[in-house]
Amino acid sequence: MIPGANAALTAENPGLSQLLVGFGWETIPSHGPQAELVPMAIMCDAEGRSLSNDHLVFFNQIVSQDGSVSFVDDRDAEEIDVDLSLVPAEVAKIVFIVYVDPDVRGAGNFSAVRSAYVRVATRDNRELVRFVVPAADNRTINVMMFGELYRHREDWKFRALGQGYLTGLRGVAADFRIDL
């Protein structure tokens, strides 16, 4: 996939309701501090704003209020699971970002990150789509939108994004109207 491309999920896979959204990357080894990357899901309304702070899912808030989105706390996998059948009707899309955790090793960025990707698979790990984030000079990027699941009529699709934030988590908070 290329940035901006989308793929039908439920229209091409009737009965599909449970997805796993996996993230991966390689980092260039360093003698200094390594960036600690954290995936996050933001459940948004039709205007693209988070429904509330309770509609964020990441390592500090591992399940959405309704139980439809959950962070998998596994050292071997960076994964967020989505049960489409439980996603409230007011959720128009679920945005997946990865950010450099400033609390772990101080301010960091994506400059040492290579081969970053997001993949969407079925519960039995059959890959439906994979998006490799294009390589770029990311010395000023510390948050990146990898992709989003979104409703299209009665179906769900995935859109590849690969969009970095120059304004970091502050910019994400402003754009999605959340407190971070």
Beta-bridged to residue 129, according to DSSP, are 120
Nearest in space to 73 (alpha carbons), one of 84, 85, 56, 61:
61
Mean pLDDT, residues 1-16: 95
Mean pLDDT, residues 88-92: 97
Question: Is residue 149 over pLDDT 60?
Answer: yes
Between CA 145 and CA 48 the distance in angstroms is 13
The domains located in the chain, with CATH, are: 6-28+35-176 (2.60.60.30)
What pLDDT shows up at residue 11? 95
Question: Is residue 104 over pLDDT 60?
Answer: no
What pLDDT shows up at residue 159? 98
Return mean pLDDT, the chain: 89
* pTM of the predicted model as reported, rounded to 2 decimal places: 0.92
State pLDDT tens for residues 31-61: 666 678 889 999 999 999 999 999 999 988 9
Nearest in space to 44 (alpha carbons), one of 97, 96, 98, 93:
93
State how far Cα 98 lies from the chain centre: 6
The pairing of strands 18-27 and 113-122 is: antiparallel
What pLDDT shows up at residue 112? 74
User: Hey, what are 92's tokens?
Assistant: 């128009």
Question: Is residue 75 over pLDDT 90?
Answer: no
Between CA 177 and CA 180 the distance in angstroms is 10
What pLDDT shows up at residue 167? 85
What pLDDT shows up at residue 105? 58
